[in-house]
Amino acid sequence: MKDAKAPLPKADVSGSQPVSEAAAGAILTIDLGAIRENYRRLKARLAGVRCAGVLKADGYGLGAAPVASALMKEGCDIFFVALLGEGIALRKALGPGPGPDIFVLNGLPPGSESEALAAGLHPVINSAAQLRAWREAARAAGRKLPAAIQVDSGMSRLGVPREDVEALAKDAFDGIDIRFVMSHLACADEPRNPANEAQRLAFERLRKILPKAPASLANSSGIFLGSAYHYDLARPGAALYGINPTPSETNPMLPVVRLQAKVAQTRGVEDGAGIGYGHTHHARGPLRLATISLGYADGWHRRAASAAWFDGVRLPFVGRVSMDSIILDVSALPAGKPGEGELVELIGPSQSLDDAAAHAGTIGYEVLASLGSRFHRHYVGG
């Protein structure tokens, strides 16, 4: 259990042991100052509307506790996690209250209400059964308990289905302090998609059926759809972490993450040499190769045809990504470069998170959420 006043934890909230920079095969640098600046940029765009921080999946892989501490310095006092376990770990890391409000987006699994209550966590209620269970928890606790109510305005994922909202509204809300009514957008990163307006109108209609409460609709991209989507509280995740919330335009956010891997070994190979598992690649002419200490166990997808960078030079992956290593073609660099132990860049100034994700055939969200636990994590700008 960490003291609330202790310095920023270096380990993630799952409690894995931090590894030293010298011992690590790869180094993940997380710029908490950039996260704070991104929060300020979103706040400026929200012009007075409250702004939460979404910290699900251990703060999109960057460490929910240090990210929360950084955001709290900017005045952020509402956080969202996906799972109850994440909320319990976050509360533990931040120390006992009165702390920020922490909401559990996926709702509480039946029977877990007392655990949520003990950790001072608030459910996002997604069904009539969850409402009943939380009402019962409030009755047993003998006091009003905060919660959010989520309605499904058209994503068909979580939240009270449209056709059930009327019945839910007739249900009893005694013992429940409805902090806000919320919904989630399916296509917010496509500003011209008519689904956005359709969801906004559905949300408008549904929230009026329910008891009067503040409203929340926008994720990161939703903030950029305009003030009609802002309501009383925005819930950005991705944009805080430097993912572009406006994929068709220049990224308005600061980059947050830098990922560098160490060269474990270099070698020269002859024309025709088979490279990596399955010999999926054969050298055409003599090549110089560098093997780096990062692989699919660190979240770099096995099928990713990707590249690393060194001194502004692109170093393509050759052969298959292994569990703990990737082979790079470094023939474009001067002899002796990179040296063993030197760092190549996977994400950083030469290759943005979104570009690295695109080359790997995925999105920045998945790259961040897949980041492994073996890196040396270096927090700067806290």
Ligand X SMILES: *Cc1c(COP(=O)(O)O)cnc(C)c1O
Q: Is 83 exposed, middle or buried (0-12, 13-18, 19+ CB in 10 A)?
A: middle
Closest CA to 342 of 368, 365, 297, 309: 309
Phi and psi based region of residue 154 (left: phi greater than 0; alpha: psi -120 to 50; beta: remaining): left
- Rounded CA-CA distance 262/374 in Å is 13
Q: Segment 173-232, which members bind ligand X (CB under 6 A)? A: 184, 219-221
Among residues 73, 144, 208, 277, which one is catalytic?
Answer: 277
- Rounded CA-CA distance 20/241 in Å is 24
Q: Which residues contact 74 (CB under 8 A, 6 or more apart)?
A: 36, 39, 40, 43
Q: Segment 239-268, which members bind ligand X (CB under 6 A)? A: 239
> Is 157 known as a binding-site position?
yes
* Minimum gap (Å) between residue 220 Cβ and ligand X: 3
Q: Segment 105-134, which members bind ligand X (CB under 6 A)? A: 105
* Minimum gap (Å) between residue 131 Cβ and ligand X: 18
Task: Please give the distance of CA 266 from its chain centroid, rounded to a whole number.
Answer: 34
Closest CB to ligand X among residues 221, 325: 221
Q: Is 277 a catalytic residue?
A: yes
62 binds ligand X (CB under 6 A): no
Closest CB to ligand X among residues 187, 328: 187
Q: Segment 266-295, which members bind ligand X (CB under 6 A)? A: none
Sign of CA dihedral 286, 291, 296, 299: negative
Closest CB to ligand X among residues 235, 374: 235
Q: Is 56 a catalytic residue?
A: yes
235 binds ligand X (CB under 6 A): yes
Question: How many H helices and E strands in the chain?
Answer: 11, 19
Q: Of all residues in the chain, what percent are helix, strand and coil, respectively (each to 5)?
A: 30, 25, 45
Contact residue for ligand X among 53, 87, 100, 236 (CB under 6 A): 236
Contact residue for ligand X among 19, 30, 54, 151 (CB under 6 A): 54
Closest CB to ligand X among residues 233, 259: 233
Closest CB to ligand X among residues 240, 289: 240
Pair 325, 264: CB distance under 8 Å: yes
Among residues 39, 56, 60, 365, which one is catalytic?
Answer: 56
Contact residue for ligand X among 27, 238, 253, 360 (CB under 6 A): 238
Q: How many residues bind ligand X (CB under 6 A)?
A: 12
Q: Is 72 exposed, middle or buried (0-12, 13-18, 19+ CB in 10 A)?
A: middle
- Rounded CA-CA distance 148/177 in Å is 8
* Minimum gap (Å) between residue 39 Cβ and ligand X: 12
Buried b / exposed e over 345-354, threshold 16 CB at 10 Å, is bbbbebbbbb
Segment contacting ligand X by CB under 6 A, of 107-115, 237-245, 286-294, 335-343: 237-245
Active site residues: 56, 277
Residues found near ligand X in the complex (CB under 6 A): 54, 56, 105, 184, 219-221, 235-239
Give the residue ranges of the annotated binding site for substrate.
157, 323
Give the residue ranges of the annotated binding site.
157, 323
